[in-house]
Amino acid sequence: MHGLNSIRHTSSPNHPMRTSKISRDTARVFRSLSPRNAQNAPVRRSLRNFAHTSDATTDPDEAAVKDEAEESSSSVSSPPSSPASSYGKSASSADETPSSSRKRKRGSDAPTATTSTPISSTSTSRTRRTAIKADPDGSTIPKKTRRQPVKHIKGANGSVKSEPPPNWEEVYNITAEMRKKVLAPVDTMGCESLADTTRSPKDQRLQTLVSLMLSSQTKDTVTAVAMRNLQTQLPGGFCLSSLLSVAPELLNELIAKVGFHNNKTKYIKATAEILRDRFDGDIPDTVEGLVSLPGVGPKMAYLCMSAAWGRDEGIGVDVHVHRITNLWGWHKTRNPEETRAELESWLPREKWHEINHLLVGFGQMICLPVGRRCGECVLSERGLCPSAAVPKVKREKVKREVLVKGEEEGPRVKVEVVEEEGVVLEKASSEAPGLDVPAQAVGGAEGDVVPDVKQESE
Residues 416 and 317 in one domain: no
pLDDT (0 to 100) of residue 296:
95
Residue 156 covered by a domain: no
pTM of the model: 0.56
Residues 190 and 300 in one domain: yes
Residue 273 covered by a domain: yes
pLDDT (0 to 100) of residue 175:
96
Residue 134 covered by a domain: no
pLDDT (0 to 100) of residue 1:
46
What is the total count of domains within the chain?
3
According to DSSP, residue 430 is labeled P
End-to-end CA distance of the chain: 71
Residues 13 and 71 in one domain: yes
pLDDT (0 to 100) of residue 285:
94
Residues 67 and 174 in one domain: no
Residue 9 covered by a domain: yes
Please report, for the domain that includes residue 254, its CATH number: 1.10.340.30
Residues 409 and 368 in one domain: no
Q: How far apart are CA 419 and CA 423, in angstroms?
A: 5
Residue 99 covered by a domain: no
Residues 415 and 310 in one domain: no
Domain-ending residue, one of 94, 128, 150: 94
pLDDT tens-digit map of 309-337: 999 999 999 999 999 999 999 999 999 99
Residues 15 and 66 in one domain: yes
Residue 302 covered by a domain: yes
Residues 20 and 89 in one domain: yes
Q: Structural domain of residue 66, as residue ranges? A: 2-94
Residues 423 and 293 in one domain: no
Residues 375 and 344 in one domain: yes
Domain-ending residue, one of 61, 94, 127: 94
Residues 259 and 406 in one domain: no
Domain-ending residue, one of 76, 94, 112: 94
Counting as low any pLDDT under 70, the low residues of the chain are 1-19, 34-144, 390-458
pLDDT (0 to 100) of residue 365:
95
Residues 359 and 417 in one domain: no
- Selecting among 299, 392, 394, 427, the annotated active-site residue is 299
Q: How far apart are CA 296 and CA 275, in angstroms?
A: 13
Residue 437 covered by a domain: yes
Assess whether 299 carries a catalytic annotation.
yes
User: Which of helix, strand or coil describes residue 272?
Assistant: helix
Residue 118 covered by a domain: no
Q: How far apart are CA 60 and CA 24, in angstroms?
A: 20
pLDDT (0 to 100) of residue 157:
81
pLDDT tens-digit map of 253-308: 999 999 999 999 999 999 999 999 999 999 999 999 999 999 999 999 999 999 99
Which residues lie across from 416 on neighbouring strands?
401
